[in-house]
Structure 1
Amino acid sequence: MAEIPSLPQRAFVVSAQRRDELASAFQSGAESYDKIRPSYPDAALDFTVQHHPGTAVDIGCGSGIFTEQLAARCQEVTAVDPSQDMLSVLAKRLPEVRTVCAAGEATGLAENSFDLVTYAQAWHWVDHPKASAEAARLLHDQGWLTLLWNQLDVSIAWVHRLARIMHAGDVHRPELQPPLGPEFSKPEHGIWHWAMPLDFEEIIELTKSRSYYRKATAMTQAKVEANLEWYWTEHLGHAPAEKVQVPYLTHAWRSRRRTRR
């Protein structure tokens, strides 16, 4: 058995300047992002809506991959994202969902108006103290904030190396607790393992959907693709058209808003 790689002990640690630079990669290219990024396991959705929220706001919603799942379980869902391009894709899929083009730290939505705030694949793009305060402002007392991530299961050695070649942003210990503000109680968490069938072309498309690739120079992009081709076809020995079950996991954290004083 291959040795499990040593994973960093810290996550969510990036300067505001670098965070904004990488996040700007998602102001365009929403269609390609939407085609390759996976949805979330039903168990993760059950975990999110366990308390049967009537109203929910999905912040950092992107193209609406999780929003669509949430809308099937909540009476009223609002979608918030700073990219109008992402929201345009979401609107085609979910015309009934209200969309707001705004940052998670300042949504402009009415306070005390939601049972649930969600961040799917997006909490690392915000200033955590400000986003926590904004989520608390939006929630009713005892409302819930849930944070979810799909990530490559880098506890498996070959997946860890693949993620590093892709420059995936999730090469860290999945059990690391995301930072929350004092407005929220100690979070509960759940984790679910699954696999996504991908061929080499889809591996490339998944890589292209990531912020590092989108912000890189053409020379760097070509180098990443060449390294992936070597690793996938020569080192791992997969035919380009072969579908390979790539291990993933979904990790979610939920926390109840403390009662206002």
Structure 2
Amino acid sequence: MAISPHRVSGGASGPRLHHERRQELGQSFQDGGEHYHRVRPGYPADSLDWLLPAGTRFAADVGAGTGKFTGLLFDRGLEVAAVDPSRDMLEQLRKTWPQVNALEGTAEATGLADSAFDVVSVAQAWHWCEPLKASTEIARILRPDGVLGLIWNQLDTSVPWVHRLSRIMHAGDVHKPDFRPVVGPEFVDLESHLTAWQETLTPADIIELAKSRSYYLRANQATRTKVTGNLEWYLYEHLGHAPGETVGLPYVTQTWRARKARSAPPR
């Protein structure tokens, strides 16, 4: 399918972060695509299995970053478009999946065609979006009864040592048990699915993972030095891991899906 881009205007507010604050934090990810792609975890196949509606052929991955979730969609044989505001992230995505139609845009203004997709995924990015305007835009590019998927990888903080690790890393995006994402009235039947899994890393990999997070990226050098020092103490001295030893880091992937409403919401 040839996807003809056309621009629409973007929009305004989110549930937990003020607009300017989201922009400030989001700027942390404008560079460093290669590092992000190398150290950030992928997503379990179970998440996509649960998300995809039967008969899916066309998918858009919005806030695609370096393509961690995009690759799952492409490997299923789908025709995929990827949208992200960061040129650096998209450059990395194009290197890995040159067959994907990748373009600059946002969840509020994707630049994609009307009613072109069976599913639109937003992985690890909905918290950077303005959810009501993003919902309107995503409903525009979805076909009738199309599915919106919102996906988050979360450190499994029910495991005590991971909970402490998340505090040292300043992983502030770990959701509370009552978390429910905000979506617009264009979507109905919001439901969730959890996948528990582990990624095998070395202690050095975990430290590099911390360096890919917004807290570290926007910190001054003194704060960065403190974070890495605390992680080295925790991993090597307190937990007793040796350099190069493999560690199973527990994750929970939280997948939400909602169906495009059949009638337009009242204005």
Asked if Structure 1 and Structure 2 have the same fold, meaning a TM-score greater than 0.5 normalized by the shorter chain, the answer is yes
Farther-moved stretch of structure 1 (250-259 vs 190-199): 190-199
1:82–1:102 CA contact under 8 A, matched in 2:
yes
Which of 88, 94, 100 in structure 1 is aligned with 2:91?
88
- On the 8 A contact 1:192/1:249 being kept in 2, the answer is yes
Length, aligned pairs only: 251
Query: Matched residues in 2 for 1:137 and 1:131: separation?
Result: 10
Map Cα deviations across residues 163-189 of structure 1 (whole Å, 9 max, x no partner).
Answer: 111011333325511111111003121
Which residue identity does 1:38 align to in structure 2? P
Q: Residue 42 of structure 2 aligns with which residue?
A: 39
In structure 2, what is the equivalent of residue 60 of structure 1?
63
CA RMSD of aligned residues (A): 1.5
1:190-216 CA distance string (max 9 Å, x none):
101111122221011101111111111
**Residue 247 of structure 1, CA deviation:** 0.9
Distance 1:123 1:98 in 2: 21
Structure 1's 85 and 157: CA in aligned 2 closer, same or farther, altered over 3 A? same
TM-score by length of 1: 0.92
> C-alpha separation between the residues in 2 aligned to 1:74 and 1:23?
31
1:194 aligned to 186, 193, 197, which one?
Answer: 197
Match for residue 28 of structure 1 among 6, 28, 31? 31
Structure-1 residue corresponding to 2:229: 226
Residue of structure 2 in register with 1:4 after alignment: none
| One-letter code aligned to 1:103 | T
The one-letter code sitting in structure 1 at the alignment partner of 2:238 is H
Runs of 4+ in 1 over 3 A off after TM superposition: none
Partners of 2:214 and 2:55 in 1: CA distance: 34
Note the C-alpha offset of 1:89: 0.7
Paired with 2:150 and 2:243, the residues of 1 have a C-alpha distance of: 35
User: Sequence identity, in percent?
Assistant: 50
- Look up the match of 1:120: 123
Structure-2 residue corresponding to 1:253? 256
Q: Which stretch of structure 1 is more off in the superposition, 227-236 or 145-154?
A: 227-236
Does the CA contact (< 8 Å) of 1:55 and 1:74 recur in 2?
no
- How far off its partner does 1:49 sit? 1.5
Q: 2:241 aligns with which of 234, 238, 242?
A: 238
Contact 2:154–2:175 (CA<8 Å) still a contact in 1? no
Give the aligned partner of residue 145 of structure 1: 148
Secondary structure class of the residue paired with 2:46:
helix
Shift of 1:50: 3.6
Secondary structure of the 1:233 match is: helix
Tell me what 2:11 maps to. Answer: none
**For 1:70, which of 52, 68, 73 is the aligned residue?**
73
Offset from partner CA, 1:110-158 (integer Å, 9 cap, x none): 2211111100111111011111111111111110000111110012221
| SS of equivalent residue, structure 2 residue 164 | helix
1:169 aligns with 2:176: no
Secondary structure of 1:187's counterpart equals strand
| d(CA) in 2 for partners of 1:69, 1:172 | 24
Q: Secondary structure at the match of 2:187?
A: coil
Quick one: which amino acid aligns to residue 242 of structure 1?
A: E
- Match of residue 157 from structure 1: 160
Contact kept in structure 2, 1:104 and 1:126, CA below 8 Å? yes
> Partner residue of 1:134?
137
